[in-house]
C-alpha cells in the first residue's frame, strides 16, 4: 500500500500473535499516516489457537486455522518482513534478525508467543510432539495422522483446557479413522501433575468432564508428572510407566530464549515485565503483550482471550505514544468465558460459578471462532490517506532534482557498517578496465516494489538484473545501483537504506560481482535500479538470435509471477503461493548461465516483463516457428488457479498479448489449458532462461539444470519451419 505521507517514526511489531493482528486491523481502519509500520514474522501466516481443536478433530479444514499476514499488512499499510528475531537491543533500539541486517525502531511491540517448557524431562525423543508453536505441531500431527491406521496408544501431557480439548479431538479423529480401517480405536491417556482436573472450574462441571473422558475411553492420569519419554514409554516421577507410541506435550511454557537474554526487565519466570499500559517497565518505547509478557500489576494466566482483548488498548497506546499523549490502562476482566470442545459436536463452558454443557455451546464456540477469523479474512476495502499529517516534513515541499539526494553522511555510515572492507565510499561513476581478450556486456533494470520487505526486494532486484549477463554467457563484474527512497525522517531513511544496501551487497557478492558506485535520491516510493557490467570471451557470447531448425526449447524456471502478485495485491493469493514465488525469484540464474557455453546451445534469452511469448518471439529468425506444448510449461503454485478460477491478470498481460503477434492461440475447452495459454503473456519478475539447444543435447541439459537446483526445468517445445508460435496440448 503506497502512500505519499512522510514517515516520521518507525513502529515494529515483532510477532504475528493475536494482539498484533488486531493492531494491524485497526491501523487499516484508522491509519496513522506519518507512522511507518513493519511486522516481523517468520511466516506469512499466523494460526488462531481457538480453532485448533476443531481442525484436529476434523470439524474444520486446516486452511481455516490460518490468517494471512501479507493480506493483513497490505490492508494496514504495513511492511511484512519474513525473518526470525535472535536478539533485542533496547538500548540501541534495534532487533537482531537471523541472516540479515538488524532492524531499527522508534517503537517496538512484542507478541511472539512461547516455547514448550521441556525442562522436567530428563530425556525425550522424536516421538514427542509439542503443541506450541501451532504451525510446527500441525506439520507433525498431519504426519502422525497420515501414517495412522488404527490401534496404538497416545498420551497427552497437560490437562488444562488446551490439553483437555486436544485429548477429545484426537480421540474423535483417530477413532473415526480406526473404524474405517476395521481396527481397534486408540488408547488415549490424559496426564497431568496436579490431582484435580480444571481446578478453577465449578466442582459439578469437573465431575462431568471426568465422566466424559471415561465415556469416550480416555484414561485420566492425575498426579502423573512426566519426567522421561522415549523408546515407546512415558515415565512419571513416581515411577509409573505408560506404553505409548506418541506423546503430545500440552503443558508448560517458556519465554523465547532471545527475550530472556535481552536487557528488557523481566519477571522471575523470564517473561517481559509490563505495566498496566502494556509497556516494558524498563524501556518505555517497548510494549509486550500476549504470552510474551507478564503484567506485573495484574497477573493473569497465559490465555489467548487476554491477548485478543489487549489489542485495542495496545493500538491506542502505540498511537498515543507516537502523538505524545498520555497512555491508557489495560483492565483485564476478572472472569472469562471458557469454552472447551469435547471432540464430537458438543462442548462445555463456564464463567465463574456458572457452567453449561451441550451442542448449543459447541455451536456458540464455533460462531465465536469464525466471527474472529472472518474479521481478518474478509477485510473491507480502504483508501489510504495520501498526505502526511506530520509536522516536520511534507513531500510536496521537498527539494527535487539533485536536491533530493539522500544525505551523504547517512550513505557513508551505512556502507561502512555493512561492508567495512569494501574500500572507499561509492561514487556516482566508476572507471572500468575490461579483462584482456574479453568483451563487455552491459544491462540495466529498474525495479518497483513487488514485495514489502526491502532487504529481500533488493536481492530480487539484483538477481533480476544480472540474468541478462548470464543469458549472454557472461560473468558478473561491476554493479552500480540507483535508489529512490521514500521521503522520511533521517532515522527511517537510514534504516531503509541499510536494509536495501545490505540486500544489494549480499546478492552482489553471491553473484561474484562488485558494487562500484551508484546514486541515491528521495521520492514517493522505493525504486531500485541496477546497472550491471559483465565480461565474456568473444567465443562464449550467446545472443537471443541463432535458433536452428528442430532445436528444443528449455525453460529453467516456472511461470506465473505476474498473475500471482496481481492476486496478492487484491488479497486473493494464498500465502504459500507467494512464498513459492519469492523463493523462485531469489534463485539466481548463475548456475544455468554456466551451462550454456556448450556448442549445442544456439540461442538464449531471459524471460521477464514481456512474458514467455514476447521473449520467444524475439528469438525466432524469419520463417521460423515453434511448437509449444502447454502441459510442459513449468508453473508456479497457484498461478493456474489465479488465472482460471480467480480471473486475475497482470496489468501488462493484455499489452504482452497484443505484442505477441506470432502466437496462434486456441479456444481450448479445458480450463487448465486456457490458463496455461494465458501464462504465455504473463510478465515475469526474475524469471528463468529460455534456451534453444540441439535436440540430442536437450535432455542432458535439463538433467544438469535439475542437478544445479532448477527443479522445474523442462523442454517446452521445438523450433519448426512453420512461421508462428503454435500451441498444443501435446500427446
Measure Cα distances from 135 to 62, 132, 509 in Å: 11, 8, 34
Q: Where in the chain is the domain with CATH 3.30.1330.10?
A: 401-539
Residue 397's pLDDT is 44
Distance in angstroms (rounded) separating the CA atoms of residues 105 and 91: 11
List the alpha helices (DSSP H) in 80-160.
134-147
Q: Who contacts 300 (Cβ-Cβ below 8 Å, separation ≥6)?
A: 306, 332
Q: Where in the chain is the domain with CATH 3.50.50.60?
A: 9-114+255-377, 128-251
Cβ 447 vs Cβ 530: under 8 Å = yes
CATH superfamily of 401-539: PurM-like, N-terminal domain (3.30.1330.10)
Measure Cα distances from 194 to 14, 136, 224, 709 in Å: 34, 27, 8, 53
Distance in angstroms (rounded) separating the CA atoms of residues 47 and 694: 50
Distance in angstroms (rounded) separating the CA atoms of residues 145 and 527: 47
Element of type H or E holding 372:
helix 359-377
Residue 1's pLDDT is 39
Measure Cα distances from 398 to 6, 393, 403, 408, 524 in Å: 10, 8, 8, 17, 11
Residue 448's pLDDT is 83
Q: Helix or strand or coil: residue 477?
A: strand
Q: Where in the chain is the domain with CATH 3.90.650.10?
A: 542-728
Residue 409's pLDDT is 53
CATH fold, domain 9-114+255-377, is: FAD/NAD(P)-binding domain (3.50.50)
Residue 115's pLDDT is 81
Which residue shows C-alpha cell 552482489? 508
Residue 425's pLDDT is 47
Cβ 259 vs Cβ 86: under 8 Å = no
Distance in angstroms (rounded) separating the CA atoms of residues 262 and 116: 19
Residue 207: count other Cβ atoms within 10 Å of its Cβ: 12
Q: Which has the closest alpha carbon to 350: 360, 340, 341, 342? A: 340
Tell me the residue ranges of DSSP E strands in 20-113: 35-41, 45-47, 66-68, 79-82, 85-89, 94-97, 103-104, 107-110
Q: Who contacts 410 (Cβ-Cβ below 8 Å, separation ≥6)?
A: 490, 493, 494, 497
Q: What is the mean pLDDT of each run of 10 residues along the chain (731 residues)?
A: 69 96 96 95 93 94 95 94 95 94 96 83 90 90 94 94 94 95 95 92 92 95 94 94 95 84 90 95 96 84 77 96 96 84 90 90 94 90 46 45 47 63 57 85 88 94 96 94 90 92 95 90 90 92 93 98 94 94 97 93 95 95 95 97 95 94 94 96 96 97 97 97 93 69
CATH fold, domain 542-728, is: Phosphoribosyl-aminoimidazole Synthetase; Chain A, domain 2 (3.90.650)
> Would you report the helix, strand and coil content of the chain in percent, each value rounded to 5?
35, 25, 40
Q: Helix or strand or coil: residue 194?
A: coil
Give me 576's grid cell.
504459500
Report strand pairing: 128-130 vs 246-249. parallel
CATH hierarchy code of domain 128-251:
3.50.50.60
Q: Which has the closest alpha carbon to 160: 188, 198, 129? A: 198
Residue 7's pLDDT is 85
Residue 209's pLDDT is 93
What amino acid positions are annotated as catalytic residues? 402
DSSP one-letter code for 631? G
Q: Which has the closest alpha carbon to 120: 291, 234, 290? A: 234
Instruction: Give me the phi and psi of 66, to 5 degrees please.
Output: -105, 145
Amino acid at each position: 500500500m503506497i502512500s505519499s505521507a512522510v514517515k516520521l517514526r518507525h513502529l515494529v511489531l515483532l510477532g504475528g500473535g493475536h494482539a498484533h493482528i488486531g493492531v494491524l486491523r485497526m491501523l487499516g481502519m484508522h491509519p496513522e499516516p506519518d507512522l511507518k509500520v513493519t511486522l516481523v514474522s517468520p511466516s506469512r501466516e499466523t494460526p488462531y489457537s481457538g480453532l485448533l481443536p476443531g481442525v484436529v478433530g476434523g470439524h474444520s479444514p486446516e486452511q481455516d486455522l490460518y490468517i494471512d499476514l501479507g493480506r493483513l499488512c497490505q490492508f494496514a499499510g504495513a511492511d511484512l518482513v519474513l525473518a526470525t528475531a535472535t536478539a533485542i537491543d533496547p538500548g540501541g533500539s534495534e532487533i537482531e534478525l537471523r541472516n540479515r541486517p538488524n532492524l531499527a525502531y522508534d517503537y517496538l511491540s512484542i507478541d511472539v508467543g512461547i516455547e514448550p517448557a521441556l525442562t522436567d524431562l530428563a530425556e525425550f525423543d522424536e516421538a514427542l510432539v509439542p503443541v506450541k508453536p501451532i504451525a510446527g505441531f500441525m506439520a507433525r500431527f498431519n504426519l502422525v495422522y497420515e501414517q495412522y491406521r488404527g490401534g496404538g496408544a497416545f498420551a497427552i501431557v497437560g490437562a488444562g483446557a488446551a490439553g483437555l480439548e486436544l485429548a477429545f479431538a484426537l480421540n474423535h479423529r483417530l477413532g473415526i479413522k480406526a473404524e474405517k480401517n476395521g481396527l481397534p480405536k486408540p488408547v488415549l491417556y490424559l496426564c497431568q501433575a496436579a490431582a484435580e482436573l480444571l481446578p478453577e472450574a465449578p466442582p459439578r462441571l469437573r465431575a462431568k468432564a471426568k465422566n466424559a473422558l471415561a465415556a469416550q475411553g480416555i484414561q485420566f492420569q492425575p498426579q502423573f508428572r512426566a519426567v522421561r519419554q522415549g523408546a515407546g514409554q512415558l515415565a512419571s516421577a513416581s515411577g509409573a510407566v505408560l506404553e505409548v507410541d506418541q506423546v503430545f506435550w500440552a503443558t508448560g511454557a517458556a519465554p523465547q530464549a532471545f527475550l530472556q537474554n535481552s536487557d528488557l526487565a523481566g519477571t522471575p519466570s523470564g517473561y517481559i515485565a509490563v505495566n498496566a499500559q502494556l509497556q516494558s517497565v524498563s524501556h518505555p518505547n517497548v510494549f509486550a503483550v500476549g504470552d510474551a509478557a507478564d503484567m506485573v500489576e495484574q497477573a493473569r494466566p497465559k490465555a489467548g482471550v487476554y491477548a485478543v482483548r489487549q489489542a485495542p488498548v495496545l493500538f491506542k497506546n502505540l498511537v498515543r505514544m507516537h502523538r505524545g499523549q498520555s497512555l491508557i490502562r489495560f483492565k483485564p476482566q476478572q472472569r472469562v468465558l471458557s469454552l472447551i470442545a469435547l471432540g464430537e459436536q458438543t462442548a462445555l463452558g463456564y464463567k465463574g460459578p456458572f457452567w453449561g454443557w451441550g451442542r448449543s455451546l459447541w455451536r456458540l464456540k464455533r460462531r465465536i471462532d469464525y466471527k474472529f477469523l472472518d474479521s481478518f479474512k474478509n477485510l473491507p476495502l480502504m483508501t489510504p490517506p495520501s498526505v502526511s499529517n506530520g509536522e516536520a516534513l511534507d513531500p510536496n515541499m521537498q527539494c527535487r532534482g539533485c536536491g533530493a539526494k539522500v544525505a551523504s553522511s547517512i550513505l557513508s555510515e551505512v556502507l561502512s557498517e555493512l561492508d567495512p572492507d569494501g574500500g572507499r565510499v561509492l561514487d556516482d561513476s566508476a572507471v572500468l578496465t575490461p579483462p584482456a581478450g574479453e568483451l563487455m556486456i552491459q544491462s540495466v533494470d529498474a525495479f518497483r516494489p513487488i514485495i514489502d520487505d526491502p532487504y529481500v526486494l533488493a536481492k530480487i532486484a539484483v538477481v533480476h538484473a544480472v540474468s541478462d549477463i548470464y543469458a549472454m554467457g557472461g560473468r558478473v563484474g561491476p554493479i552500480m545501483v540507483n535508489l529512490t527512497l521514500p521521503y522520511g525522517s533521517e532515522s527511517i531513511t537510514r534504516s531503509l537504506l541499510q536494509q536495501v544496501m545490505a540486500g544489494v551487497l549480499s546478492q552482489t557478492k553471491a553473484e561474484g560481482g562488485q558494487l562500484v558506485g551508484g546514486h541515491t535520491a528521495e521520492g514517493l516510493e522505493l525504486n531500485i535500479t541496477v546497472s550491471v557490467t559483465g565480461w565474456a570471451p568473444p567465443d562464449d557470447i550467446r545472443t537471443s538470435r541463432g535458433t536452428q531448425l528442430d532445436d528444443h526449447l528449455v525453460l529453467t524456471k516456472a511461470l506465473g509471477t505476474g498473475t500471482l502478485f496481481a492476486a496478492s495485491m487484491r488479497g486473493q493469493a494464498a500465502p504459500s503461493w507467494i512464498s513459492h514465488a519469492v523463493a523462485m525469484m531469489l534463485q539466481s540464474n548463475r548456475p544455468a548461465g554456466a551451462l550454456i557455453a556448450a556448442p549445442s546451445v544456439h540461442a538464449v534469452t531471459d524471460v521477464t516483463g514481456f512474458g514467455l511469448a514476447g521473449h520467444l518471439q524475439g528469438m525466432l529468425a524469419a520463417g521460423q516457428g515453434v511448437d509449444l506444448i502447454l502441459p510442459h510449461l513449468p508453473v508456479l503454485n497457484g498461478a493456474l488457479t489465479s488465472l482460471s478460477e480467480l480471473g486475475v491478470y497482470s496489468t501488462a498481460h493484455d499489452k504482452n498479448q497484443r505484442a505477441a503477434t506470432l502466437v496462434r492461440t486456441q479456444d481450448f475447452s479445458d480450463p487448465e489449458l486456457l490458463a496455461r495459454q494465458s501464462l504465455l503473456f504473463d510478465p515475469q519478475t526474475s524469471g528463468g532462461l529460455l534456451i534453444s539447444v540441439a535436440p540430442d543435447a536437450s535432455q542432458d541439459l535439463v538433467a544438469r539444470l535439475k542437478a544445479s537446483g532448477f527443479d522445474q526445468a523442462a523442454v517446452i517445445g521445438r523450433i519448426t519451419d512453420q512461421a508462428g508460435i503454435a500451441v498444443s496440448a501435446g500427446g
